[in-house]
Amino acid sequence: MSDFFFSVGYHWCYQSQKDEQPTCKGNYQSPINIVTKDVIYDKSLKPLNFEGYDVKGSSKWNIENNGHTVKITLGTSPKIGGGGLRRKYKAIEFHFHWGVQDTLHYLPGSEHSIDGEKQAMELHIVHIREDALDIADAKKISDGIAVLAFFIKVGGKASQMDPLPLSSLIPPEDELGRYYRYEGSLTTPDCHEGVIWTVFEKPVELSIFQVSQFSTVHFDGKNSTYMVENFRPAQFLNERYVYWSSASTLLPPAKVLMLVLILTYILSSLFQ
């Protein structure tokens, strides 16, 4: 795996050390390695407020392979607020980053890491300010984008797949309040800075079978290369600080269940 990615026309690749976009060379780039001994405790980082996260909605979601990840565009606009955010943000899409299954092991593919430890996958839920029209409009504002990052780790056995005990995927409720906050960027070109990152410490658990199913996706059609290791390496922290939350609780179980059900649905419907 390389140290960076590059863009060619409208397409770009993770497997090159060359990058031709100046916006990907700023001082506030993501992802980062979070060094826990250096984080700053911030008492203002209380539990986030989630609005509409447990509402199914009537509009269809658009699920697509966009050539570098699996992206799901939402038909509704759930919102987040609180948690040190100065305003509300509406969710517009979520996507995944993952590693690769080799002969003996699954090589982790999360973008962020904690004390150098990566997890199998990472889920990003992308939000924009509620007063922004779209992602392009949000990029015009210094705090226009907020991303929630959830680690996904291998924890269960494939025999748990049918039926899958949802309790085996949900972190204990008393461990859901710890998260990290920092200012960074999008992790794909144009690497736009001005993104508020919230990285949750406790990962969601999936079986090795579920995680490895993502590696069956192709970059471009069935005869092309398998889409694996679609993550950007850690970037320099530079003069930034990482803050740690004081939250004691985060998502009520029903709302965490919604995230787990989303993952299970995508795995069962797209990667047969």
Is position 68 annotated as part of the catalytic site?
Answer: yes
Strand 121-129 and strand 62-65: pairing?
Answer: unpaired
Prior bond of 31 cis (ω within 30°): yes
158 CA to centre of own chain:
23
Other Cβ atoms closer than 10 A to 108? 22
28 CA to centre of own chain:
17
Q: What is the C-alpha to C-alpha distance for residues 240 and 235, in angstroms, rounded to an integer?
A: 12
Residue type, 136: A
- What are the residue ranges of helices labelled H in 129-227? 135-138, 208-213
- Residue pair 62/72 in contact (Cβ under 8 Å)? The answer is yes
The residues facing 207 across adjacent strands are 156
Q: Which member of 11, 68, 95, 97 is catalytic?
A: 68
Q: Closest Cα partner for 198 from 232, 153, 244?
A: 244
Q: For the chain, how far is it from start to end, CA to CA, in angstroms? A: 27
Residues that are catalytic = 68
